[in-house]
Amino acid sequence: MLTDFPRLLTVPGVLNIRDLGGYRTRRGHQTRWRSLYRGDSPHTMRPEGGEVLRGAGLRSVIDLRSHHETVDEPNPLARTPDVAYHTIPLFDDLAPTIKDVKARNSDDLLLDLYMEALNAQSGAVRSVLATIAAAPEGAVLFHCTAGKDRTGIIAALLLGAADVEREDIVADYALTGAHIVPLVERLLARTRATGGDPVTHARFLRCEAPTMEAMLDHIEKRHGSIAGYLTDIGLEVADIEALRDRLLGG
């Protein structure tokens, strides 16, 4: 893992906005800084946070949260001048599946969810990636609530499209856990207060390397590679090239 700039952006009120620059590829290149950001929801961002992000080159935002999340916790970046805002829910149609997954008593509930998302939500995944590919000059931020699951899937696919080393894709995913500890504690406290099941909830709040390793194994087994998955879900060749250009420079 190579670094030239701080990976974590210090954005007042937000925990987990990170730069995808500085990762090495199998061909010896390095992903571009200030081109793609992954993050948690900025609904808690303080007013000055928008200026920090615009100063970091932000020009496009893709909100992966569900409709009810964006209504309950509106995104202030939707009203930021000169920033294009898109909502593309990634897990919306998986709510019944999540309940089914919990009932399976699986060893890795998150892995089950990720595989369901890759398969059942391939149209939404394609839409997210195509939107990033078509984004105007400047940095793109894609985010969900914690910046862990929906965001983690998209980040892995983007880094894989750029042929980033597998160990760095996994490390980028696992890095989230260190930054969202306060959010996890708040969510579990809320679960206890409302009479929910904190043990099961805690299993969904993990962010461990073996989960991403297994997701990548799943993709390689079914599609040969991340590039194969992107082709199989119908992403245009021009879009794949545009993603690589955004990550590596044209």
Write out pLDDT tens, residues 56-111. Answer: 999 999 999 999 999 999 999 998 888 999 999 998 866 544 555 556 667 788 89
Which one, of 242, 88, 82, lies nearest residue 151 by Cα?
Answer: 88
In this prediction, residues 28-48 reach a mean pLDDT of: 95
Q: What pLDDT does residue 8 have?
A: 94
Instruction: List residues bridging with 218 in a β-sheet.
Output: none
Q: What is the reported pLDDT for 96?
A: 44
pLDDT at 44: 93
Tens-place pLDDT, residues 114-156: 999 999 999 999 999 999 999 999 999 999 999 999 999 999 9
Give the C-alpha separation, 163 to 158, whole Å: 9
Fold of 18-248: Protein-Tyrosine Phosphatase; Chain A (3.90.190)
- For the record, the structure tokens of 89 come out as 């829910």
| Domain extents in the chain | 18-248
Element holding 54 (H helix, E strand): helix 47-55
In this structure, what token pair is assigned to residue 113?
A: 């969810």
Structure tokens given for 150? 């929906």
Pairwise CA distance, residues 192 & 187, whole Å:
9
**Mean pLDDT: which of 102-106, 200-204, 211-215 is highest?**
211-215
- State how beta strands 18-19 and 84-87 pair: unpaired
Contact between 20 and 96 under an 8 Å Cβ cutoff? The reply is: no
What's the rounded Cα separation, in Å, for the pair 155 and 62?
A: 12
Residues 88, 124 contacting (CB under 8 angstroms): yes
Q: Taking the chain, what is the end-to-end CA distance rounded to the nearest angstrom? A: 22
The single-letter DSSP state of residue 89 is -
pLDDT in tens, 185-195: 888 788 788 88
What's the chain's average pLDDT? 90
Q: Residue 23 pLDDT > 90, yes or no?
A: yes
Nearest Cα to 239, choosing from 124, 101, 84, 134? Answer: 134
